[in-house]
Each structure stands twice: as C-alpha cells, then as structure tokens.
Amino acid sequence: MQEIECDVHVIGSGFGGLASALRLSELGLRVCLSERLNYAGGCASTFSRFGYKFESGATLFSGFAPGQLFHHWIERYQWDLNFIPHEELIRFQIGVRSYSVQNTRSKLHETLYAMVSPENQRALSRFLHAQKAIADSFWPLFDNPKVFLLSGLMRSGAFAQAQKLLGAASAIRYMKWLGKPLSKVLQSYKLEQEHELVTYLDALCQITLQCSTQEAEAFFAMVALDYPLRGTGHIHGGIGALANKMAEQVVLNDGVFLPVSEVRKLKRQGKGYVAQGRKANVSSTHVVSNLVPQALWSLRPELGQNTELQKMARQLEQAWGAVMLYGVCEDDESWAQEPFHIEIAESLNVEMTYGRHIFISVSGRDEGEKAEEGFRTFVVSTHIRIEDQNDDAYPQIVNEVQERMWQNIEAFAPKLAAKAVQRFTGSPRTFERFTGRPKGAVGGIPRRAGLHHYRAKRVTELEDKHYMVGDSVFPGQSTLATAVGGYLVAEKIASRR
Ligand SMILES: Cc1cc2nc3c(=O)[nH]c(=O)nc-3n(C[C@H](O)[C@H](O)[C@H](O)COP(=O)(O)OP(=O)(O)OC[C@H]3O[C@@H](n4cnc5c(N)ncnc54)[C@H](O)[C@@H]3O)c2cc1C
C-alpha cells in the first residue's frame, strides 16, 4: 500500500476529474488522481472487448475549435491526437425521412428550413436570429471557463473578456424567455405545429438537456442548438485517447495518476482529508470528488445530512440511464471513410426515449485501433428512466428496449443491421458496474425550465476544501461541460491558496 501526500486528491478520472487534475497540475499544485478502472474517461472512454474497441457512452465531442478548451490543451502540449471535424456530423432521421446535420451555420439552417412549411420560413428565420444571439452570448463562457470566476477573469485579460460578454448584450431583449420552456418560444414564433422541426428539437434537447422541448429551459436549448457548430467531431481511435493524454499529462506535470485504485473511504484528518484506496492511502489538503451524490455517500457517510447533496440525489433518481447496443459490422464501400452518426426518431413527435429514439455511431474505415480492416465497430444508445429499477419487471423492460432499438435499426438503418456480425448489450447496471454510478444514473440532472439554473453555484464546495465536479453539478452534462466545471474548480482552489 502506497502512502501519498498531495495538495489535491481528485477522485475519479471522468472528464470533470481529468480537467480539474490537469488544470491544478498546471497551476503548480501537487495532484493525485485516483481512478477505479484501469483507464481514464468514465462515461467518455474507449474500452476493449473481443479484440475490438468501443466508445463506452459518449461519441461526439465539442470544444475542439481554435480558442476552445480541448483545442487549447492539444496545442499547448502538442499531443499526438487527430481531431476529425466532420462536415456532416449527424444524419438525422424521422423514420425513413432523412436530414443532414452539418457543421456550418448556413448548411445547418438549410436543413432546418427544409423541415418547415413555406408559410413559416420567415418565422423560422426570426427564431434562428434570436437563437444565434443567445448562443453567441453563452458559448464564449465555454470557450474560456475562467470568465465564470472573477479571480479567473482578472488573470485571463479582463478587458478582452468583458468585451466578449458585452457582445452578449444583443441577447438581452430575449430575457423574457428566461425560465420558460423552449416550447413557449416556439409558440411565440408560431412554430409549434412544425412537427418535423419540433421532432428534431425534441431529440436535440433529450441528448443535450435530458428532457423534451416541452420542459427544456429555453436559453439552454437555444445554446445547445449550436453544438454542431462549436468545434464538434471525433478523436481518431476514440475519446479514450484524449482521456489518456490528459491523465498522462497530469503525471508529466509532477502529479500522480493511480488507475485501478478505487477510493473506499474518505475522512477528515486535521485540516485536510485522508482517503483509503485500493492501491494507496492519500492525504491531501483539498479533495475534488468526480462522483455522483449517491457514490460520494458511500465514501463519506457524514455527507448524508448535506441537504444540497440530498436534493441532487433526488433529481438524479428521477433522471435517466442509458441502454446500449455495442457491435461489430462488416464495412460497406458506400459508407464514408470517417466515423459517422445516425440519429433516428421512429416517427414524428415520438418521445425520445425507450428505444423510440436511438443514436448510432459507427467507427471510421481507417480506425484500425477499433477494428481490423474490413470491419467497423458501432455503438447505439437510448434513454431509460432510472426509477424503472424499482419495478420487478425491470429486466424485461430493458430487454424490450433493446429489442426495439434493434428493430429500429433494421427498419431505418437496414444496411447496418445487415452488415452486423456481432453484438452485445449494456444497461444502466453495466454503467453502475463500470463507472461506479449507483443505478447507472448517467444522464446528469435534466435542465428543466426554471430560474434556479441561473442561481446555481458556479463551484460546488460541499464542505471545507471538498469540491464536486462532473455532470451532476454546474455546468452539467457533456464532456465539454464537465471539463469546464472541473477547470473552474481548479481555478477556485488555486485562487484560495
Ligand atoms: C450513452 C451516453 C452517451 C453520451 N453521449 C455524449 C456525447 O456524444 N457527447 C458528449 O459530450 N457527452 C455525451 N455524454 C455525456 C458525457 O459522457 C458525460 O456527461 C461525461 O462524460 C460525464 O463525466 P463526469 O466527469 O461527470 O463523470 P464520469 O464519466 O462518470 O467519471 C467518473 C469517474 O470516476 C470513477 N470512479 C467512480 N467511483 C470511484 C471511486 N470510488 N474511486 C475512484 N474512481 C471512481 C469512474 O470509474 C469514472 O471513471 C453521453 C453519456 C452517455 C451515458
């Protein structure tokens, strides 16, 4: 058993923990990063099975354009990573009807206009004008997370940042929608009966905000509508390559990375903390937990009384898990060389859950790391309620969802179904086993309409010098959002010192 002393112990190497550990190590703090698995990345990692490689959950990533967080790190450290920005990011289908979601505003708009009737083209144009103003005002916050914190703002060139934020002024006239669901905004533009558009937006809101247009906080949804345009694409070979580079960099910056070292207990000791892990006991002044509330309680039962944590846990219990299909297929010469995605809603206005909506990602022809020549791997996901696990029929529910997913692939992506040679399944319980998230609650907290989002703390400090990162805290779900949250926590800890 190793005995390690450090300034900050980061527990968990999901993108929240990785970003936090990397930024802390850049700021000169001694960091120890513990991870229960033998690889980094958590829900956004790449795992091996039967000699093939698969993305565990997340498959499409933002934040890689010049000026954005991941781009900044790749440039700074000259990591040998190949980011692939696809022109067509997603082929979105409503049944057999298919739309191309592309990575330039003009092409994306072309697709959205094709979803709307001729008499509502002007209304859509006005809606998209508002949407752009709102997206332009929020995205700079993700490009440079420091602007969330006053201390960070000062260090990052206050003037330039303030100018950017002033650019946000054009969104002020849309403040009336703060706290309202996206459906209300669509109504105000008389677009609520444009069913193809609403179906696209429902799917988008489900994967980004974990709820439908009827519920989703309008401002966040309008920001999310821009995600194909914000440095979005793939890392060649899988997102695990980026996660591993980040963990390796922590070590190169004089930190410690401990894979296969689950932390089992966390206690206060003097002015700091001591954690008992599988490989090491780690003493630290600060702790950053990249864990969901329920997982944190099992390490530190004292936090059972923490009302903030209890509230988060309740919200998470009412949120989502993922049902997955992983598989290997023969290559098809008509497919693009690059990895590609097909998102399917089985019909208009369907609920984007339980296999009625699926997100398929197929690896690239030249991703030899994932499959040998002539083959590709694929990953398919859908949402299912966490609370279904209280139902005796839960195994049957999962089976039915998996069957429906496959039926929809056969019906609407028949070439993939015909080329499949091997497949296996995953469920919330698989995520629980691998990522240590009780009940496999992987969806983060749904961003339902309400002003509470804007009052949320930028940094969650649960108790003195013990912080939380990850998709249950600000700014929420996605690899980029959790990384931004981790970065903010690092800045906060450094500024305290
Ligand atoms: C099916 C699916 C599809 C998704 N698609 C996308 C997408 O396309 N694009 C996107 O940006 N986002 C996507 N997401 C969301 C994104 O993956 C997550 O929001 C993000 O990766 C969560 O990161 P995190 O830091 O919160 O935690 P996690 O990824 O959960 O990481 C936590 C880490 O902590 C480790 N750990 C747990 N307990 C302990 C312990 N006691 N000791 C040590 N280590 C521990 C775990 O092993 C894990 O590595 C998707 C998620 C899912 C589930």
pLDDT of residue 46 exceeding 60: yes
CB atoms < 10 A from the CB of 351, how many? 12
Q: Point out the ligand 1 atom lying closest to the alpha carbon of residue 43.
A: 29
Tokens coding 161:
């940042």
Ligand 1 contact via 478 beta carbon (within 6 Å): yes
Q: Which residues contact 470 (CB under 8 A, 6 or more apart)?
A: 12, 14, 16, 17, 289, 290, 291, 292, 482, 485, 486
Helix (H, G, I), strand (E, B) or coil at 381: strand
Q: Point out the ligand 1 atom lying closest to the alpha carbon of residue 477.
A: 19
Q: Output Rg (C-alpha) for the chain, integer angstroms.
A: 22
The 10s digit of each residue's pLDDT in 233-286 is 999 999 999 999 999 999 999 999 999 999 999 999 999 999 999 999 999 999
* pLDDT recorded at residue 1: 86
Classify domain 2-45+236-312+445-496 by CATH number. 3.50.50.60
Ligand 1 contact via 44 beta carbon (within 6 Å): yes
Q: Which residues contact 257 (CB under 8 A, 6 or more apart)?
A: 13, 21, 33, 35, 40, 247, 248, 250, 251
Helix (H, G, I), strand (E, B) or coil at 99: strand
Q: Give the residue-averaged pLDDT of 116-134.
A: 97
Q: Give the residue-averaged pLDDT of 364-372.
A: 96
Ligand 1 contact via 131 beta carbon (within 6 Å): no
Ligand 1 contact via 292 beta carbon (within 6 Å): no
**Contact predicate 135/226, CB 8 Å:** yes
Least confident of 5-9, 112-116, 325-329, 443-447: 443-447
Rounded CA-CA distance 61/84 in Å is 10
Which backbone phi and psi does 313 adopt, to 5 degrees? -65, -40
Average pLDDT, the chain: 94
**Contact predicate 62/41, CB 8 Å:** no
Residue 10: name the closest of 283, 288, 293 by CA: 288
Least confident of 133-137, 156-160, 205-209: 156-160
Residue 32: name the closest of 283, 221, 228, 304 by CA: 283
Q: Point out the ligand 1 atom lying closest to the alpha carbon of residue 295.
A: 38
Question: What is the CA(389)–ligand 1 centre distance, in A?
Answer: 20
The 10s digit of each residue's pLDDT in 136-180 is 988 888 887 776 665 555 555 555 555 555 555 667 788 899 999
Helices (H), 329-478: 394-412, 414-419, 428-435, 452-455
Domain with CATH 3.30.519 in the chain: 320-440
Domain 320-440 has CATH 3.30.519: yes
Nearest CA to ligand 1 atom 15: 478
Nearest CA to ligand 1 atom 12: 478
* pLDDT recorded at residue 137: 86
Question: What is the CA(442)–ligand 1 centre distance, in A?
Answer: 7
User: How many H helices and E strands in the chain?
Assistant: 17, 19
Nearest CA to ligand 1 atom 36: 12
Question: What is the CA(205)–ligand 1 centre distance, in A?
Answer: 19
Question: What is the CA(15)–ligand 1 centre distance, in A?
Answer: 7
Ligand 1 contact via 259 beta carbon (within 6 Å): no
* pLDDT recorded at residue 494: 96
Ligand 1 contact via 247 beta carbon (within 6 Å): no
Q: Give the residue-averaged pLDDT of 211-232.
A: 97
The 10s digit of each residue's pLDDT in 338-357 is 999 999 999 999 999 999 99
The 10s digit of each residue's pLDDT in 369-398 is 999 999 999 999 999 999 999 999 999 999
Domain with CATH 3.50.50.60 in the chain: 2-45+236-312+445-496
Q: Which of 14-18, 64-68, 386-390 has the highest mean pLDDT?
A: 14-18
Ligand 1 contact via 291 beta carbon (within 6 Å): yes
Return the best residue to mutate from 478, 484, 488, 489 for the ligand 1 pocket (most ligand atoms within 8 A of CB).
478
